[in-house]
Amino acid sequence: MTLAEIQRSDSIRAARWTQSEQQLVFSEVLGLTLTEQILSAESPIADSKAEQVLDIAQRSIAGEPLAYILGVTYFDGLRLAIDSKVLIPRPDTETLVEVASELISNGNIQSVHDLCTGSGAVALAIKARHPECVVTASDLSEYAVRCMAQNATALQLDVECARADLFEGLLEFELITANPPYIAWDDPEVDAEVVAHEPAMALFSDHNGLSLIQRILRDAPNHLSKGGWLCLEHGYSQAHDVRELAIDLGWRSVQTLQDLAGRDRVTRMQRP
């Protein structure tokens, strides 16, 4: 089969991959850059490689996330190893990186800690953008800690990661970022494929998804230097509650920012 024939196959069409997803599959399996994919459309593909691509398509059709099938995803331009024990980082979370990056650039911030780091996406993106910063990370999941360390090594980014229950054992930082589990257990909007394949401990939280957010808002001031900032990702429908909780706890300069789709996604605030 040629690459063009693979692209026209029933399996590829049924998988309904976006252009970027298809490019990622061809890049990872066939080792072709985007330019090579365009120029080599009529070139023959080894049968074993063609079968591998079509098998990936069938698994994708069955609902398995492409990132888990390939073992890799991209976030803020970084290639990250991923597996089914770690949450797949979403493009919306790049909003958290943008908000943190703006604070770092404008505030001469030197120390950053990323809570609930998962694959390390946010911490590594911040370090890649701001190599002058000392960036650390933590997660309750031992699998996440190992995945994050693997990604830090592969990307040659000096970010240390520890296993911790939120602020357990942590010292003081100028900026804390967090993308904690914030989905309510009974949220009807959650995609069934997400529930079936991604780790529940990285998705769900008690009290309408606000349990861990409440803990972070309550305890973060003890781990922020004077004038320090917290940047917190949350569900778009939780923004009002997050702001009210923050204001009630005395946080200053509370502001919610929107993601790529214009939905409330990240609230930043300054230490009380």
Distance in angstroms (rounded) separating the CA atoms of residues 49 and 267: 45
Confidence of residue 192 (pLDDT cuts 50, 70, 90): confident
DSSP state of 33: -
Residues belonging to the chain: 272
Q: Which residue has the higher pLDDT, 190 or 123?
A: 123
Residue 179 pLDDT level (bands cut at 50, 70, 90): very high
Q: Side chain identity at 81, as an amino acid letter? A: A
Over residues 105-114, mean pLDDT: 94
Q: How far apart are CA 240 and CA 134, in angstroms?
A: 32
Give dist(CA 211, CA 205) in Å, integer: 6
* Amino acid letter for position 100: A
Closest CA to 119 of 156, 77, 176, 72: 72
Contact call for residues 116 and 177 (beta carbons, < 8 A): no
pLDDT for the residue 80? 98
Share of the chain above pLDDT 90, in %: 90
CA distances from 13 to 10, 151, 220 (A): 5, 32, 48
Structure tokens at 11: 């399996």
Q: Enter the DSSP assignment of 26.
A: I
Q: What are phi and psi of 224, to 5 degrees?
A: -115, 140
Quick one: average pLDDT of 219-237?
97
Count of C-beta atoms within a 10 Å radius of residue 39:
12
How far is it, in rounded angstroms, from Cα 237 to Cα 264?
Answer: 7
pLDDT band for position 43 (50/70/90)?
Answer: confident
pLDDT mean over 59-69: 95
Token pair in block for residue 189: 């909007």
The pLDDT of residue 114 is 98
Q: What pLDDT is recorded for position 41?
A: 84
- Average pLDDT value for the chain: 95
Q: Are 108 and 178 in contact (CB under 8 A)?
A: no
Could you tell me the pLDDT band of residue 200, with boundaries at 50, 70 and 90?
very high
Alpha-carbon separation of residue 109 from 112, 132, 176, 233, 271 (angstroms): 8, 9, 11, 20, 14
Across the range 73-89, mean pLDDT stands at: 96
As a whole number, mean pLDDT of residues 153-159 equals 98
Please check the confidence at residue 173 and state whether its pLDDT lies above 90. Answer: yes
CA atoms of 142 and 156, how far apart (whole Å)? 21
pLDDT of 121: 98
Position 38 scores a pLDDT of 87
Structure tokens, 65 = 């996330």
Average pLDDT rounded to a whole number, residues 23-32: 93
Q: pTM to 2 decimals?
A: 0.94
Q: Is 77 exposed, middle or buried (0-12, 13-18, 19+ CB in 10 A)?
A: exposed
Residue 92 confidence (pLDDT) above 90: yes
Q: Which string of b and e fits 229-260 if b means at least 16 CB within 10 Å?
A: bbbbbbbeebbebbbebbeeeebeebebbebe
